[in-house]
Structure 1
């Protein structure tokens, strides 16, 4: 049941600021841009120790899980802060896929059942990861791969312990040891994709009936799209800050290039867009946290806007770094690739714009 819409709170609480500081410190220590570059180029971007520290040490994996199931009983607002910081560092971690989408899907089921409660407890503790077996491009109001034997484009499947699979008779939990996971070559090297072939469903655990399962999956994808905007916000913020830093230090004609009017105008425009993106992302996180009746509307607005801001900021970062930004050694390309990948993740901006038009009863031209 959704609540009546109320005035959204876009400000960060003290607890959220403390959480941000802890996550940023951890990522600076274990996932700086140099180490992310090295791991991305090696083809094995994930750092198990980073995930162990983030999920279990800080407890980020259990933010959305109730305390009675071993979580922290926090909300989407706190999870959004974690994703902002992960976006700033383009850290290869299955947080969005496991701790948000899969967890939110499970929370929409009957958490009194042993299978669901047990899996949520394991996810909250960071002992296991789960991934919803749908393409990264799947949207909450679009086609779902019900009953498909081979599913292509599943993000983070290579590091998941459990897959949540939609079948014609409901939702199942399948150990990845019982499926074939073929790692693909993605555009975004920090969020690998895979093709999943469901070989053996005999050992799968049935979690919910068909109707409940589809509603739960769509809820998980809606939450994922809403909080993806926070990742895009963090990415855009880093790109802007790095660009400003570089143009202050880079000199031409005995002046910082950032003092040239044309460049100042470009960076000022990105700053305005980032500020607006922050408002949209925070509104979506708050709407999800309060279970607002306007949650779908807030998510559509956030994704329509934040997706394009992230791409714009990343493109400007590459352009205003000039020749340096075009090199493989500089991390700018990782941010551009993540931004382009996120742009089509969980629904394209165009699809969200169509959903937005339908929600406000605005006819397309």
Structure 2
């Protein structure tokens, strides 16, 4: 059975779309004839705490920190390469790898070194939706997409595909493989008392759930202001925000705005949830709302759609792949609380529209975003790259070094 090394900076139980993507490949690739070994940071709690049977093949690296704190070593060299020593020891104890798959920009650097050492193809999936805004962002993008010369770039949405093409990745090296989610065969019916009691809210409450870190790209402030408008038109409407605070003062400002607008009974900050809790969280919603100002894919939106939930979302980034206005959800203008309030009101006051859009949402995810399809297409790409590498005497990528 061919063997891939998947390099992931974080891995479940750490939450996030990139982390769930890595986990789904790790868990299900064996069904398509591949074994995946995961190397990830060990300074997070082990997956064993949540699901004991799922730790095999996941290696959580920790010894690199010893090098960083060793004053006898050149610190800057350790910053760059300390993980490589631990990776080398790990791979020495495993059967040979046939391919390296890097799940971020920083692991793409490690991945290129490991792939070149073993003369195997390098695949990268860059989930960061706005690396150009980081320090030396333009350089980071050119490094990942051009200088490291990946043999294949997997784009989980059209947003990522277009970005890779704009960075000069040749057409035959960028592959649109939509991010996939689990879709249950049967979705339980809505409780007769509604979803409100699950959140400590009154019976017959209509609940819109928003999932994601509370920071500006998620549009949380716009959602709070929309709730203030919509509650006057649909008194039964409540908004539940599920996710951790972001790395700024934005979350505090969002809570202050909810208090200023007297939304204590309308907007509920429910905090973060573990990945294994997310199916229940999303099922306990009448609709999923994603007022994002920027979004690479929209994992919670896709998962909610798979549960038959209608969606209110902005047409930004990967959300445009998921939601079609009036077909499987409501598309609203980014940054416009009034537009968002109108859409929430339409759904909260029209159960038949909710049911119709929700059923269509489930069908669209089954057709385009099922996890089995994602894994099958990804492992087929792996196989093609390995076959090409074995047939060619030169396995190191020949991508031109002249980029944008």
Identify the TM-score tier after normalising by the shorter chain.
Answer: under 0.3
Give the structure with the higher percent helix: 1
Q: Which has the higher contact order (CA 8 A, sep 6+)?
A: 1
TM-score when normalising by structure 2: 0.26
Bigger-Rg structure (1/2):
2
TM-score when normalising by structure 1: 0.28
